[in-house]
Amino acid sequence: MKNRLVGNKSSYLVFWPVIAFLGAAAIAGFLFKLQVLAFAAVVLFLLALVCRLWIIQAGKNMEFRMTGESTGLYPGQKSDFIFHIKNNKLVPVLWADLFYPLGKDLCITPEETRPAMEWEKLLLREDGASEEIVGESHLSSFSWYEAKTVTVRWTARHRGIYSNKGWSLRTGDGFGLGQTEQKLSMGYLRDMAVFPDRIPVNSDYFVKNAWNSDTGTHGVLEDQTVIRSVREYQPGDNVKHINWRLAARGLPLSVNLYEEILPQNTFFIFDGESFSGPESHREEMEEALCVIGSAAASLGERNIRCALSMSEGAYSQVYQNVQDNADPRQLLWALAAYQPAEAVKDDSNKIIRQKSRFDPSFIGEEAHKASRCYYFVYNPDLCDQSLISLIGEEKVTVLSYLPGRPSLRYRTREVRSLILKGGK
């Protein structure tokens, strides 16, 4: 990728118009016999020209690539990104820096950071990056044709999505008058997700509730018509499962192991706008996202597929709906990306609650396939009744933080009752 001058971090002295002006000033000084002017102009002209050529040569033929694939992390987890840098020329490079803008929410940060400089803040704001801090790693010099491998460790802080667009390699002249940078090429650009924190939740509730019956601690039913195998009887085994035919033959007591069957898909609906409005309930919103993510991950480990639909929010609609599939990470990505819609104020400058916007066609399709649908909302009185009618009241469980008005049409439960002891 072509190197470019970092204008705001380079002295005006190394810009071509200034260099041309200094050259003209030197010539004028000689012509009009202004020796002091001519001498000063010549010195500055040579310094500026040498530095500019040095900057150009320092940035040429620098190989800059990256490896590392930890694109999904939980808060607290670390990921190493390995940079492969090589100086493919005879001219040595005295210094080089790795520079990376950070996300506004600082959901993931490198080990080495520094406060953003005043001249950087405008550019960072235009790029939608954090104006508080930036990441920067200082590298040692490169001799001719020297290659180095640099490992930079990043730490996931909290839920969010971060793009490495803007990562660059910076170098320049030995006098520090100018810098050139080489952006990370498109082939290495990727998004990184920090998933909602995984907390202990009662995932059996979602399975048992889907069956509408009490099952064992594993949250499955057994098909009594299909015997998968038998094993030796142990104290405490259900007497109903004893294989009496084998016992009648004089063989030791044994119990039948039946084929386990699982419920159909589970469908989560998240009403993010119900947590916003005049009073923000950000903590409860984050907790609800953690419950959904933790439950989906647990159910995925048991081969129970989950689907998700969220209110539109402020993010790309790419993440609004997640169909049921065998990879729960897609659902976790959507939860990581969710952000409430931007606040809207009325004429008196008060924030008003915005109406949640869902995709009814997707919800209707997924609700038809699911055993049960779980509607997460801060206040159950804010439920979209048209969605509940679309799904079918008998299939809906509303999970909320407030009791709301009693309803005989669908089940209700408090979200925090699903968090096991030791969770949030």
Q: What is the pLDDT of residue 215?
A: 38
Q: What is the pLDDT of residue 226?
A: 46
- Helix (H), strand (E) counts: the chain: 9, 23
What are the angstrom distances between the C-alpha of 253 and each of 14, 169, 289? 91, 72, 48
Two domains, one topology: 62-194 and 265-418:
no
Q: What is the pLDDT of residue 68?
A: 73
Structure tokens at 130: 């954090």
Cβ atoms of residues 374 and 269 within 8 Å: yes
Contacts of 209 (CB under 8 A, 6+ apart): 372, 397, 411
Cα–Cα dist 206/198, whole Å: 17
Mean pLDDT by 10 residues, the chain (424 residues): 58 84 89 86 90 86 82 91 92 90 94 89 87 92 92 94 90 84 84 94 80 40 54 78 76 72 76 88 95 92 87 73 78 92 78 86 89 92 90 90 73 92 61
Cα–Cα dist 263/209, whole Å: 10
Question: Based on the number of CB atoms within 10 Å of its own CB, is 50 exposed (0-12), middle (13-18) or buried (19 or more)?
Answer: middle
Q: What is the pLDDT of residue 8?
A: 55
Residue with tokens 């100018």: 178
All structural domains of the chain with their residue ranges? 7-59, 62-194, 221-261, 265-418
Determine the Cα angle at 145 with ends 142 and 150, to 5°: 50
Q: What is the pLDDT of residue 70?
A: 66
Please, what CATH class does the domain formed by 265-418 belong to? alpha beta
Q: What is the pLDDT of residue 206?
A: 86
Determine the Cα angle at 188 with ends 185 and 190, to 5°: 125
Q: What is the pLDDT of residue 209?
A: 64
Alpha-carbon torsion (205, 206, 209, 211), positive or negative: negative
The fold adopted by the segment(s) 62-194 is Immunoglobulin-like (2.60.40)
Cβ atoms of residues 386 and 371 within 8 Å: no
